[in-house]
Homo-oligomer: A and B are copies of this chain.
């Protein structure tokens, strides 16, 4: 049996590989110890570098198929897994794409979008990691994120130019912001929720409604969507009154009474779920919809079609996950590309019976 030295030089040649490729050695890792590439090398009878070349699918070095097979079998037998961290130390970055974990419960539309994107990036061999930034400000979040050495980051606009600079200096090749505005010097997918309010406002005006209540959820964290939606309704030229509303039946009864006292003739209800809540309260109080008050939601959820009267809504289209994954991949390969800014949120009215 060929005696395999415990540690092989870091740069093997094809000749060295031929010498070290002997029969399988019996030695395994100590019981309970994490198996290392040295253990795999010993068991497969090859050098550690050969193990690394085989398991990382390096094509630069010619290694015979039987040797490759022996290495893979030894790795499997020992339960050896390459260390992503070690790989990333060599490469300067990982194949990780970081996405922020939403800090508020997001609807089926946005979570479907995130899911699809995750699948599409995985198919391109990226590791998608959702990372919370709980309790951290912009730059602190950026520093925490940068520790993982992601190759690309989909960042909230709130991270700001300084945070984005931290990520880039730590090796991120691509930072794409998601939000209402671009951040100078980096790519941006603009999701402008004013479009949603503008579509709702224009629809209500076209149907002859002038005095419009706009639901503002009292739940924390929703202002980032609710404020631009409100601004959009205001821009449409309607006369606007804010209607704060918690997602509970008592507060809906109160809001329904209040909007009838004010004599409003329409409501843009933030989204379909708040619309369903408020519509029920209005109906329980005897209001005719849309005769006395028209109601429009947003998001085009199934539930709107099931209500009577059927709920008018604003449909929101986002880019497909595949499209966005392709963009990330293209920018990773061309990190010097000029900042791309894309408007990705498209809003369109779905008129039904409630307006």
Task: List A residues at the B interface (Cβ < 8 Å).
Answer: 34-35, 79, 81-89, 92, 94, 101, 103, 105, 108, 111-112, 115, 118-119, 122-123, 127-132, 134-135, 143-144, 146-149, 165-166, 169-171, 247-249, 273, 276-277, 280, 302-303, 305-306
Contact = CB atoms under 8 A, between A and B. Distances in A.
B306 A82 contact: no
B81 A89 contact: no
The 6 closest A-B pairs by CB, nearest first: A85-B85, A84-B147, A81-B146, A130-B130, A122-B134, A280-B306
Contacts of A35: 169
A355 B280 CA distance: 21
A83 B149 contact: yes
Nearest to A94: B85
Copy count, this protein chain: 2
B303 A276 contact: yes
A82 B103 CA distance: 25
Given A84-B147, A105-B115, 11 more contacts: A79-B165, A81-B147, A83-B89, A85-B89, A85-B94, A86-B89, A101-B115, A101-B128, A103-B115, A276-B306, A303-B303
A130 B129 contact: yes
A122 B149 contact: no
B105 A112 contact: yes
Contacts of A148: 84-85, 127
Given A34-B92, A85-B89, A306-B277, A132 B122 contact: yes
A274 to B, nearest CB: 10
Given A34-B169, A105-B111, A132-B119, A83 B273 contact: no
A169 B132 CA distance: 27
Nearest to A114: B101
B249 A305 contact: yes
A166 B79 contact: yes
A79 B119 contact: no
B105 A108 contact: yes
Contacts of A169: 34-35, 79, 81
B127 A85 contact: no
A131 B123 contact: no
Contacts of A249: 305-306
22 contacts: A34-B92, A35-B169, A79-B169, A81-B169, A81-B170, A85-B89, A85-B148, A85-B149, A103-B115, A105-B111, A111-B111, A119-B132, A123-B134, A123-B135, A127-B148, A128-B132, A129-B129, A249-B306, A273-B302, A276-B306, A277-B306, A303-B303
